[in-house]
Amino acid sequence: MNQTAKNAGLALMRQHALIAGEPIPANGSGIAVDDPATGEVIGHVPDLGAAETDAAIQAAAEAFPDWSRGDPHRRAAFLRRWAALIDDNVEGLGALMALENGKPFEEAKGEVTYANGFIKWFAGEAERLIGETQDSPLGHLLLTYREAVGPCALITPWNFPAAMLTRKLGPAFAAGCTAVVKPASQTPFTAIALAELAYQAGLPVGALSIVTGEASVIGKVLTDSPLIRKLSFTGSTGVGRKLAEQCAPTLKRVSMELGGAAPLIVFADADLDLAVAETIKGKFRNSGQTCVCPNRVYVERSVAEAYAEKLAAEVAKIKVGAAFEEGVKVGPLIEDKAIEKVEKHVTAVRADGGRVLTGGSRHELGGRFFQPTVTLGGDDALFREEETFGPMIPVFAFDTETEALDKANASEFGLASYLFTRDLDRAMRFSRRIEAGMCGVNTGLISTAVAPFGGVKQSGYGREGSIHGIDEYVDVKTVTLALR
Ligand code: SIN
């Protein structure tokens, strides 16, 4: 075990929430956060409620006028200072994240760099908050300004404790918004550490609060408040739908990054070794717990057996273990019920006549570890509508391109999708027809700060990252100038 790294993580761990820059300590009680590898409690954050959430909202509202009306170059400079501090703390932040989330330490450090990419990118976007001038047919001159929407509520998930925070805070701060963040109770420490660094980088007091506690209580206060003008949520479709309903009476701007059930399609003309390698890269990020993980793999029948055998042979080599062990690629799942879901999905494939080619059971390490699993055959219906959110790849055969497209689109979700083929025409045609916000062609990795990220159908709306991400945090104001 890498004790030095672990200590660097613990050194950044603050057992408090942050309301308007002021720490509210847990004092050893409140919400216990555990290491998913062992189930041991690593620390606590306070269980805050309506009063503290209200105080955070008030602080965000008070900080908003100065922050939003100020020079955007000041906000860009702040974002760059924050990014520099994060760069200085990649080891510690990665270790802290590995401790509370369980993802392998190397991967956690990679997430810190990915997360920081959003801050760096949006520092540039702050400098490009460009409006337009236009002649109106009424003989007037039109000026448009892109103005911050207001104080924002940002609700972030446990699977990417750093990147989902910065993907929201980067554009929010660039636009001039202030924010109240509710991080997932399983992984609050990374968010708190990042917020501490933001204040060290010179963020004005009140511009950011991190409120820990019961999600439904805090979520209700945030969504009910007329002072909060925008909600951005990453999480399940069910919770997203409820939050969107709660935002309706105050007509907040809302963006939702929800569930996935991503299809991955392999045609017979594809480079099978590449398809196997990229399937593994896409699937086993965060031990299969991402919204963009391939959830169901469709392979043209003539190569289905060959692809599945190759895939199973590679997957069988994957090292499973705790975050700080050398060479580990798949860690524990976040909680016990996550293991039960993977088991349920393996059982469903078996019951439908499919075969388990590798894995298929809880790992000998016990606890929340599951064997990396590949299955072949059975019915794909369950996988169209339910994310496994664990280290399992179900492979199904198809016969025609139309059948593959129909299967891929036969889901209420439409977040990520993947396609492997050497035929350029097919790649163009298929990627246009697939009902998904994102399509990776001959790659299993599609996420970067510069690519628009988001879904269609029940996967939500709004785009994060890229040149579009800041639009979620600005309103366009039109000034009509009558020139006499
Ligand atoms: C997610 O799973 O919600 C995000 C994944 C990513 O950013 O690639």
> Does the beta carbon of 159 lie inside 6 Å of ligand 1?
yes
Please state whether beta strands 392-398 and 413-414 pair in parallel, antiparallel, or not at all (unpaired).
unpaired
pLDDT in tens, 143-183: 999 999 999 999 999 999 999 999 999 999 999 999 999 99
Shared domain for 294 and 216, answered yes or no, is no
> Does the beta carbon of 166 lie inside 6 Å of ligand 1?
no
**Which atom of ligand 1 is found nearest the CA of 290?**
2
Q: If pLDDT is split at 50, 70 and 90, which confidence band does 21 have?
A: confident
> Does the beta carbon of 438 lie inside 6 Å of ligand 1?
no
Shared domain for 254 and 275, answered yes or no, is no
> Does the beta carbon of 160 lie inside 6 Å of ligand 1?
yes
pLDDT in tens, 62-73: 999 999 998 999
Shared domain for 359 and 466, answered yes or no, is no
Which of these is catalytic: 52, 257, 278, 472?
257
**Which atom of ligand 1 is found nearest the CA of 159?**
2
Evaluate whether residue 484 is within a structural domain. no
Evaluate whether residue 356 is within a structural domain. yes
Q: What percent of the chain has pLDDT over 90?
A: 99
> Does the beta carbon of 234 lie inside 6 Å of ligand 1?
yes
Evaluate whether residue 358 is within a structural domain. yes
pLDDT in tens, 237-284: 999 999 999 999 999 999 999 999 999 999 999 999 999 999 999 999
Q: Whose CA is nearest to atom 6 of ligand 1?
A: 447
**Which atom of ligand 1 is found nearest the CA of 257?**
3
Task: Verify whether residue 291 is a known catalytic residue.
Answer: yes
Q: Whose CA is nearest to atom 3 of ligand 1?
A: 291
- Bin 483: left if φ > 0, else alpha if -120 < ψ < 50, else beta: beta
Shared domain for 268 and 197, answered yes or no, is no
Q: Please tell me whether residue 34 adopts helix, strand or coil conformation.
A: strand
Write a three-state SS string for 127-139: CCCCCCEEECCCC
Angle at CA of residue 66, ends 61 and 68, nearest 5°: 80
Q: Which of 114, 164, 418 to mutate to test the pocket of ligand 1 (most atoms within 8 A of CB)?
A: 164
pTM above 0.95, yes or no: yes
Task: Determine the Cα–Cα distance for residues 298 and 398; give it in Å rounded to an integer.
Answer: 6
Shared domain for 254 and 296, answered yes or no, is no
pLDDT in tens, 358-391: 999 999 999 999 999 999 999 999 999 999 999 9
The burial of 334, by beta-carbon neighbours within 10 Å (0-12 exposed, 13-18 middle, 19 or more buried), is given as: buried
What's the 447 CA to ligand 1 centre distance in angstroms? 7
Nearest partner of 247 among 218, 226, 268, judged by Cα: 226
Question: Cα separations (Å) of 259 from 30, 78, 197, 387, 446?
Answer: 29, 33, 30, 7, 16
Shared domain for 428 and 463, answered yes or no, is no
Shared domain for 429 and 296, answered yes or no, is yes
Q: If pLDDT is split at 50, 70 and 90, which confidence band does 484 have?
A: confident
Shared domain for 132 and 271, answered yes or no, is no
Evaluate whether residue 380 is within a structural domain. yes
Shared domain for 68 and 196, answered yes or no, is yes
By residue range, what is the domain housing residue 243?
1-258+459-479
Shared domain for 217 and 277, answered yes or no, is no
Which of these is catalytic: 152, 177, 291, 439?
291
Residue 1: per-residue pLDDT:
61
Task: Verify whether residue 439 is a known catalytic residue.
Answer: no
> Does the beta carbon of 115 lie inside 6 Å of ligand 1?
no
Shared domain for 69 and 201, answered yes or no, is yes
First CA to last CA distance, the chain: 75
Residue 443: per-residue pLDDT:
98
Evaluate whether residue 93 is within a structural domain. yes
Evaluate whether residue 453 is within a structural domain. no
CATH number at residue 336: 3.40.309.10
Task: Determine the Cα–Cα distance for residues 315 and 392; give it in Å rounded to an integer.
Answer: 10
Evaluate whether residue 210 is within a structural domain. yes
Domain total for the chain?
A: 2
Evaluate whether residue 448 is within a structural domain. no
Shared domain for 78 and 206, answered yes or no, is yes
Residue 27: φ, ψ to 5°: 50, 40
CATH number at residue 201: 3.40.605.10
> Does the beta carbon of 324 lie inside 6 Å of ligand 1?
no
Question: What would you report as the CA-atom Rg of the chain, rounded to the nearest whole angstrom?
Answer: 23
Half-sphere exposure of 212 (CA within 13 A, CB side): 28
